[in-house]
Amino acid sequence: MEEHELRVGIIGVGVMGADHAHRIARLVGNARLVAVSDPDTARAQAVAGQYDGVRAISGPLDLVAADDVDAVVIASPGSVHEEQILACLEAGKYTLCEKPLTMDSASSLRLVRAERERGRPLVQLGFMRRFDPEYARMKELLSSGRLGRTLLVHNTHRNKDVPDSFRSEMIVRDSLVHEVDVARFVFDEEIEEITVLSPAPSGHSPEGVVDPQIAIFRMAGGGIVTNEVFVRSQVGYEVRCEVVCERGTVIAGRPWGDLYSTAVGDAGGSWGGTVPADFRARFARAYDLELQAWVDACRRGEVVGPTTWDGYAASAVCEAGLKSLATGAPVPVDLADAATLG
């Protein structure tokens, strides 16, 4: 396949899927967008119509089965991921799946087993922060040992706003899930326990919604991770990570200047520059690098980046997090033994 362009189909062309369609069609090398599918057929046809030679296919499984589709990007709701990923595995097609892998740990574990039963990895998870240049350099510095052992991590994750339908549980499952992967990426070990605390909610939160939230992870090696997730901050999209080590600290995502944040309308907050209102702007380069790395790996017959196990582990942590959200008490994370899965 290295001699030819990778022919890509995309399932789900909402905000994220449409962004991926543009990236595959216009920005990524050695790839060609050939098909899209979405339950909203008018939307699928509109996206397909933006690019020459791209067709809209009504059924997602029909897209997977298409002879001219070599690899699939899944940007559909998490509730249908299991069926669609299983179809990709059956067809032997490389897949980039946006988080979450599935909506619960049991179905995620089924996918881990299904992939391993087929004898080779085919699925990469869309935890794009691993490809962000700052996060990648941070990981490289930590792995070098120059700062000694990693002790603490502090994550901040703020959105300007979300729809009222974005409830407390979604903050854990759809937002905090990124911090879950960052913690596992930074420490290179599993999360053993999670506590989700509920501060007094913002006045911008709908009735009954806990926002912001504070989550505390206890890592397998004893490290601690603190996470603030605030999805209605009214300012902009702020994501950063500070790692505290024995001989220094490292920060990814911090704007260097006189930091102040204030709501200033649609333009976002400011720090002497602009705080972006949209996650696609904050992580545009990460998405570029993620998609290019995926395409290059598919053409080599490999998988790089987060795996189905990473998706399963994140689902298990978030599942425990939902229990902690309901009680405020620490909840252990129940993970299968990877060694027994084949």
* pLDDT (0 to 100) of residue 268: 54
* pLDDT (0 to 100) of residue 339: 81
Can you list the residues of the chain whose pLDDT is less than 70? Answer: 1-3, 255-274, 342
pTM of the model: 0.92
CA separation for the pair 155, 251 (Å, rounded)? 10
For residue 217, how many other CB atoms are within 10 A of its CB? 26
Beta bridge partners of 124: 96
Q: pLDDT tens digits for 157-197?
A: 999 999 999 999 999 999 999 999 999 999 999 999 999 99
- Tokens linked to 191: 């999360």
* pLDDT (0 to 100) of residue 184: 98
In DSSP notation, 221-242 reads TS-EEEEEEETT-SS--EEEEE
Q: Is 285 helix (H, G, I), strand (E, B) or coil?
A: helix
For residue 23, how many other CB atoms are within 10 A of its CB? 20
Question: 204 Cβ partners below 8 Å, 6+ apart?
Answer: 161, 211, 232, 234
- Tokens linked to 167: 């409830």
CA separation for the pair 139, 43 (Å, rounded)? 39
* pLDDT (0 to 100) of residue 276: 74
Asked if residues 23 and 288 have their Cβ atoms less than 8 Å apart, the reply is yes
Beta bridge partners of 214: 197, 228
CA separation for the pair 98, 176 (Å, rounded)? 14
* pLDDT (0 to 100) of residue 228: 98
H helix count then E strand count, the chain: 11, 13
Among residues 319, 313, 290, 324, the alpha carbon closest in space to that of 73 is found at 290
Tokens 């991770």 belong to 225
- Tokens linked to 199: 């501060």
- Pinpoint the alpha helices (H) of 34-155: 41-48, 60-65, 81-91, 105-117, 133-144
Question: 332 Cβ partners below 8 Å, 6+ apart?
Answer: 192, 193, 320
Share of the chain above pLDDT 70, in %: 93
CA separation for the pair 124, 73 (Å, rounded)? 10
Amino acid 325 reads L
* pLDDT (0 to 100) of residue 263: 42
CA separation for the pair 282, 288 (Å, rounded)? 12
Q: Edge-to-edge strands of the sheet including 224-230?
A: 248-252, 238-245, 150-158, 224-230, 213-219, 191-197, 331-332
* pLDDT (0 to 100) of residue 282: 84
What domains lie within the chain, and their CATH numbers? Answer: 6-129+286-307 (3.40.50.720), 130-280+317-327 (3.30.360.10)
